[in-house]
Chain A
Amino acid sequence: MSVRHALLALLSDGPKYGLQLRHEFEARTGEVWPLNVGQVYTTLQRLERDGLVVSDGADDGPQKGYRITDHGSSELAAWLTTPPDMAQPPRDELLIKVLVAAQVPDVDVHRLIQVHRRHLVEAMQRYTAVKADAPASDVALALVVDAELFRIEAMVRWLDAAEVRLPQLLAAAPLTVAVGDPADESADGAATESQEARA
């Protein structure tokens, strides 16, 4: 998540103080992502260094105000239409776990899939409870929670599909294709471990 661009967005309707930016950020993201004051000031300093915002020159502290520059406005406009980074480590991790589990002796892959399904549904229950308990007027919170629910639901549906394909996977020859990004050490390590376990 880009705190940097979120702060630029908040500055686009007028100059603000650091503390004010923190409150507005939390309010607009349904207070799901708490920001500490240090994070806000460090990010503002970097934005100023890069010429995206200017400060009013007052002493550091809560009374120091910031304003977006023209450069900052065009950076914000470009960021808004740039496709998001589609890399999703949590789902990749699940994919690798299920793929390699099929190769590990004495692992019940159906059981493994169910354990992950349960964890995911429990996380969805917690998010849904947040939405159920929130006032209907808190649209920002509902949007943030919906995004998480849809993301986790996609993982549950992937597990459902994986379970249907499982007999084929278990019957297939051992995997020889590389799974995951070779640069990702944890994925690499998991695959190596399972091959060792098989040997």
Chain B
Amino acid sequence: MSPMLELRSVTKTYGEGSSEVHALRSIDLAVEPGELVAIMGPSGSGKSSLLTIAGSLEDATNGEVVIDGRTLAGMSRNDKAQLRRRSMGFVFQDFNLLPGLTAAENVAMPLELDGTSARRARGQALEALDGLGLADRADHFPDDLSGGERQRVAIARAVVGDRRLLLADEPTGALDSVNSEAVMRLLRQICAQGAAGIVVTHDAQLASWANRVVFLRDGRVVDHTAPPAGPESLLATAPGAS
């Protein structure tokens, strides 16, 4: 299986001379379909730069970014925008829903921007909302939804139209622990069904929903977790089991 996203020796430098900041230093990372990867690190470790570069919102200073088999280098702005609309979904901490549009209109928008007819786009949007348990919220405006519901609408918008690369930046930052868990459960399910996902976070509970956790420090990948062992491994170490 070829990776949905691949970063090869990616560096990102801001400014120059004495004010030069190395946000990313030679990052290698591949995310396969079916995999949810968490990028964990403190503020300033390069997490957000990594996500914006992986999402083609910003160019790498050096190195190569390959999304769904296509190299970003040399691609026109329009081609990148089209790749984003068709292959990628973004989930942000503050949801970024448009307040003047209903849930269904928010979810349908990326499809309409890409030329899908309004009727078809609405059909697909309703399907995506239904899949996330929000069918009865389709015609509500964001202001009438709870925080957890808004984030689920944002996830529906990120996956609608069969987009296969999910990029999430602290997606549960504004939510309580029950809603956070619901959001992470959804992201994990969506990836288990074949999407590839990246979640950047400083929160270990959030990161623990991922299949793999990559640790970032000062713009470098310093470590990653081993492939998950089965739950039976817990019995050997669970307090009180001995």
Q: Is B234's beta carbon under 8 Å from chain A?
A: yes
- Residues 102-143 of B at the A interface (beta carbon under 8 Å): none
B98 to A: closest C-beta gap in Å:
32
Residues A121 and B241 in contact, CB atoms below 8 Å apart: no
Q: Which residues of B contact A132 (CB under 8 A)?
A: 185, 188, 209
With A and B bound together, what is the CA distance between A130 and B228 in angstroms? Answer: 12
Cβ of B19 < 8 Å from any Cβ of A? Answer: no
Are B205's CB and A153's CB within 8 A?
Answer: yes
How far is it, in angstroms, between the C-alpha of A120 and the C-alpha of B225 when the chains are bound?
A: 10
In this complex, what residue of A is CB-closest to B232? A126
Minimum CB–CB distance for A31 against chain B, Å: 10
Q: Would you list which residues of chain B between 192 and 211 have a CB under 8 Å from chain A?
A: 202, 204-205, 207-211
| CA of A157 to CA of B202, assembled, Å | 10
Contact of A126 among B40, B213, B231, B240 (CB under 8 A): B231
A123 beta carbon closer than 8 Å to chain B: yes
Interface residues on A, range: 20 to 34
Q: Which of A25-46 contact B (CB under 8 A)?
A: 32-34
Select one of A114, A117, A121, A160 contacting B208, CB under 8 A.
Answer: A121
CB-based contact A114/B210 at 8 Å: no
A122 touches B226 (CB 8 A): yes
Contact with A along B30-69 (1 / 0, CB 8 A): 0000000000101000000000000000000000000000
Interface membership of B1, Cβ < 8 A: no
B interface, CB within 8 angstroms of A? 40, 42, 185, 188, 202, 204-205, 207-211, 213, 215, 217, 222-226, 228-229, 231, 233-235, 237-241
| CB-based closest 5 A-B pairs | A124-B208, A128-B208, A1-B240, A156-B204, A130-B231
